[in-house]
Amino acid sequence: MQPIFYKKQPKVGSSLPVELDKIVSEKEKNMNNQFSENLKKIRKEQNLSQEELADQLGVSRQAISKWESGQAYPEMDKIIALCNKFNVNIDDLLHNDIKEVKGEEESKKKLNNSIYSFLKNITNTINMFSRMTFKSKVKCIFEQLLIALILFAISAAVIGALVMLISNLTSFLPFKAEMFINQLIEGILIIACLISSLVIMGHVFKARYLNYYEEVKDSENDKDDNCSTDDNKIKLDNKDNKIIIRDPKHSDYRFLRGLYKVFIIMIKFFLSWFALFVICGIVCLLVGLVLSFLTVKTGLFFVGLLLAITSLSLIGLIILLALINFIFNRKSNKKMMIYGFILSVVVFGIGAGLTFLGSLSFDVSGMDESLLKTQTFEHNITADTVIESHYYDVEYIESNIDTVKVEYTINKYCDIYEYNDDDNAITQDVECKNPMQMARAFVKKLGDKKITDMSSNIEYMKIYANKANIELLKNNEIKREKEIEERNNIINEYENEINRLQDENDELRLQIEELKIQKED
């Protein structure tokens, strides 16, 4: 006989029912706490006192206080009344954080409103174009194309400048890293400019057209007949019930005037910089006017030069005055400026003619003998001695000396310095330490109606040596010229080869980048 097993029943007062009671009471306590916190938040958001809320619910102020402190719990009808009053869900009021719930609802509401507004604008755009007159349609499309062109030009300039700047900043990086960073930033800039341009175009279109169209619809709701608004922004055409969208003050081209003002501002900005150059030119002309008195002895030439510089200074002042008046929107005496400009041009022509006539009596020559001096250097001759001379007029003179004597004829305000170059050839350098004396001498000669060469070039070069040494110097010079020519040819070949290799390297880099792109795709 098999044993019979009986299920053991829990004894009264055992621990299991006690644990269940604790769990249930804990849940009720948590729910009570959440309700009390939510009630307190909602009441404060509505700017209600406990007494005011109690009056609206028909309970005592002490009941509201107990609810918010968690000491008591309202009946179901009061909970429903709270939900209806504050427009909340029962489950959210009792169990959830009401602030988080409201935040989510606000986010959903904003998203829904944005979608609704976008779809509404599309619908209004279609309806508006279907009812616009042909002239209004052409004007609207032209404005949008013009705005798109302006935004494209601005975006292209901004992107180009930033890409160039970033390219210079990242030039120290390896080629692959530099290309990746530049392309990434360029793509980000293009997307940012595209989004910004679309937002700007949409905002302008809505402000100039869709808002006005909504006023047309409102006016149609108020009146059954064809009408026009008081501010002259929109009116209905009598023909086929078409609409004409107008700007304030009844101007069809008010927006284009705004673009014209922007264009004028840009022109003023560039003219401001041009005005600075005009000012510098006027200053230089005034300096020349003062210096022209140094030629007072030249007679007709001086008078012509004085008139020419004075007239040019007046022309510069007239241009500067016109620029200032345009930039700062000042009124100009146009007749006086035009008459002054014409008179200055006439005076300049007279001055230029007198200057030319006066210059015909001048004696134009090379370096005056009175402004020349000679410097002599002596060198010991060797088998490799080379004297740099193919840049100058050289005269070889036979002499019974074992050394080589070199005599230079040069401006007396300058000095000759000899040194050995990389090929151990004796070459020359000229330095003029007294430029003011040179200028003074030139002006003095100009007063005597002589135009003299005041350059620092070597005028003459004489080499004194015996016959054998002269032949040696000539042969060494010819040999050196051939070596220089061969060296230059080799350098040119290497440069051409380097350029060819660089071109091949660039082509290979482009092919590698294309292969990488194809592999990624």
Tens of pLDDT, residues 289-316: 998 888 888 888 889 999 999 999 999 9
* Rounded Cα gap, residues 273 and 285, in angstroms: 19
Going by C-alpha positions, the residue among 6, 2, 68, 7 that lies closest to residue 35 is 68
Instruction: Record the tokens describing residue 243, joined without a space.
Output: 């609409």
Q: Would you list the domain boundaries of the chain?
A: 15-96, 115-252, 257-361, 369-486
Q: What's the whole-number mean pLDDT along residues 345-368?
A: 87
Task: Say if residue 14's pLDDT is above 60.
Answer: no
Q: Range with the lowest mean pLDDT among 43-57, 216-230, 376-390, 424-438?
A: 216-230
pLDDT band at residue 201 using 50, 70 and 90 as cut-offs? confident
Q: What percent of the chain has pLDDT over 70?
A: 79
Q: What is the pLDDT of residue 348?
A: 94
pLDDT at 494: 92
Confidence band for 369, pLDDT divided at 50, 70 and 90? confident
pLDDT of residue 315: 94
In this structure, of 76-85, 241-250, 266-275, 423-432, the range with the lowest mean pLDDT score is: 241-250
Contact (CB, 8 A) for 124 and 213: yes
Average pLDDT rounded to a whole number, residues 449-457: 81
Question: What's the predicted TM-score (pTM) here?
Answer: 0.44
CA atoms within 13 A on the CB side of 490: 6
More confident residue, 10 or 494: 494
15-96: in CATH 1.10.150.20: no
Calculate the average pLDDT of the chain: 78
Mean pLDDT of 226-245: 46
Give 274's contacts (C-beta < 8 A, 6+ positions apart).
323
Of 427, 426, 412, 420, whose CA–CA distance to 375 is shortest? 412
433 membership: H or E segment, kind and range: none
Distance CA 307, CA 313 (A): 10
pLDDT tens digits along 380-412:
888 888 887 766 678 889 988 888 899 988 888
Q: Taking 70 as the threshold, does the pLDDT of residue 228 lie above it? A: no
pLDDT at 42 over 50: yes
> Is residue 255 within 8 Å of residue 140, measured between CB atoms?
no
